[in-house]
């Protein structure tokens, strides 16, 4: 059967989606058991995650093979691109929920607890002595005294690292478009390295926060918003770095051409998204 570019493309049936569903379900059941303090939880969670990894290799592997065989036409390529953009949009909205929580807590909830505005009753009747504005762990002092991470140490350095990585991935892209594979791979390696260093710093900062600052996930609303925002961001950087690693290896193996490299661009967009979220974090979590 012919595979010319002006044909619609419909893939045949696939067992990967059902494996994906089973993998995800196993993972969340494991996590749920673990939360409930069930002995088997971690094991089930681990099996689930392993299945997810297996599924991703298998599913993406199939797609990559099909793409290399030239089965995809321009329309498929456009579908992938648009799909990726909408996926990133959904991720943006996920972060928006946590940023929303941060703004609400800082601008409304905590001032109300301090007795401002129309909602003074909670303050007057429950916690008349509460006077601690942001950063705060609330009138109950949940999690105990803590200190915050300063913006101009590691976080500023991390901002620099991520911004630089945004440049290096663009350089890699330009090199790819110019057909220079060596340069593409080198710039990609630089990007991966920057991502990895970022993660290392982030891990160091967390250890520092937990051990020296007594700033933990349980440090009231400050700790909650701080760790959930930076934590989910760090998780996304981890995924992004893994994806970068994959396309680096693919580029080194000779995948991608100057005008056909959806996976590369998808990862690059994702990386820029992670970058932009970090800028928001840097400003609203660390600086302000």
Partner 1 sequence: MTTATATHDDHHDHGPAKGLMRWITTTNHKDIGTLYLLFALIMFFIGGAMAMVIRAELFQPGMQIVDPQFFNSMTTVHALLMIFGAVMPAFTGLANWLIPMQIGAPDMALPRMNNFSFWILPFAFTLLLSTFFMSGGGPAGGWTLYPPLSLQMGDGFPFLIFAIHLAGISSIMGSINVIVTILNMRAPGMTLMKMPLFCWTWLITAYLLIATMPVLAGAVTMLLTDKFAGTSFFNAAGGGDPVMFQHIFWFFGHPEVYILILPAFGIISAIVPTFARKPLFGYSSMVYATASIAFLSFIVWAHHMFTVGMPVTGELFFMYATMMIAVPTGVKVFNWVSTMWKGSMTFETPMLFAVGFIMMFTIGGFSGLMLAIAPADFQYHDTYFVVAHFHYVLVTGAIYSIMAATYYWLPKWTGNMYDERLGKIHFWISTISVNLLFFPQHFLGLAGMPRRIPDYSVQFADWNMVSSIGGFIFGASQLLFAYNVYKTVKGGKKATDKVWEGADGLEWTLSSPPPYHSFTEAPVVK
Report if residue 171 touches partner 1, rule: CB under 8 A: no
Residue with tokens 């760790």: 227
- C-alpha closest to that of 145 among 136, 154, 153, 157: 136
Report if residue 83 touches partner 1, rule: CB under 8 A: yes
**Token code pair at residue 214:** 């007594």
Which of 51, 185, 192, 221: binder of partner 1 (CB under 8 A)?
221
CA 10 from chain center: how many Å?
A: 31
CB of 85 to partner 1, least distance (A): 9
195: helix, strand or coil: helix
**Token code pair at residue 230:** 């930076």
Report if residue 18 touches partner 1, rule: CB under 8 A: yes
| Contact map string, positions 126 to 155, toward partner 1, x by CB under 8 A | x---------xxxxx-xx------------
Which of 118, 124, 152, 254: binder of partner 1 (CB under 8 A)?
118
User: What is d(CA 163, CA 172) in angstroms, rounded to the nearest whole number?
Assistant: 15
Contact 216, 265 (CB under 8 A): no
Contact 178, 258 (CB under 8 A): yes
List the interface residues with partner 1, window 35-54 (CB under 8 A). 35-36
CB of 279 to partner 1, least distance (A): 19
Report if residue 100 touches partner 1, rule: CB under 8 A: yes
Which of 68, 181, 218, 242: binder of partner 1 (CB under 8 A)?
218
Contact 179, 221 (CB under 8 A): no
List the interface residues with partner 1, window 174-203 (CB under 8 A). none
In the complex with partner 1, the residue whose CB is nearer, 59 or 201, is 59
């Amino acid at each position: 059967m012919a595979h010319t570019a002006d044909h619609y493309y419909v893939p045949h049936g696939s067992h990967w989606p059902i494996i994906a569903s089973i993998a995800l379900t196993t993972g969340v059941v494991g996590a749920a058991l673990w939360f409930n303090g069930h002995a088997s939880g971690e094991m089930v969670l681990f099996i689930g995650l392993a299945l997810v990894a297996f599924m991703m290799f298998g599913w993406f592997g199939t797609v990559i093979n099909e793409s290399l065989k030239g089965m995809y036409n321009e329309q498929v390529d456009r579908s992938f691109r648009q799909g990726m953009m909408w996926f990133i949009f959904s991720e943006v909205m996920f972060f928006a929920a946590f940023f929303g929580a941060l703004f609400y807590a800082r601008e409304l909830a905590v001032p109300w607890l301090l007795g401002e505005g129309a909602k003074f009753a909670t303050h007057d009747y429950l916690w008349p002595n509460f006077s601690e504005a942001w950063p705060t762990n609330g009138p109950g002092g949940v999690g105990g005294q803590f200190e915050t991470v300063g913006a101009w140490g590691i976080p500023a350095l991390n901002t620099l690292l991520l911004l630089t990585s945004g440049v290096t991935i663009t350089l890699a892209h330009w090199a790819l478009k110019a057909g220079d594979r060596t340069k593409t791979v080198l710039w990609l390696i630089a990007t991966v390295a920057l991502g990895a260093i970022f993660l290392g710093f982030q891990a160091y900062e967390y250890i520092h926060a937990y051990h020296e600052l007594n700033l933990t996930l349980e440090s009231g609303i400050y700790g909650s918003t701080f760790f959930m925002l930076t934590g989910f961001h760090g998780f996304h950087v981890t995924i992004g770095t893994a994806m970068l690693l994959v396309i680096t290896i693919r580029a080194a193996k000779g995948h991608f051409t100057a005008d056909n490299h959806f996976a590369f661009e998808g990862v690059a967009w994702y990386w820029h998204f992670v970058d932009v979220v970090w800028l928001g974090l840097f400003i609203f979590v660390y600086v302000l």
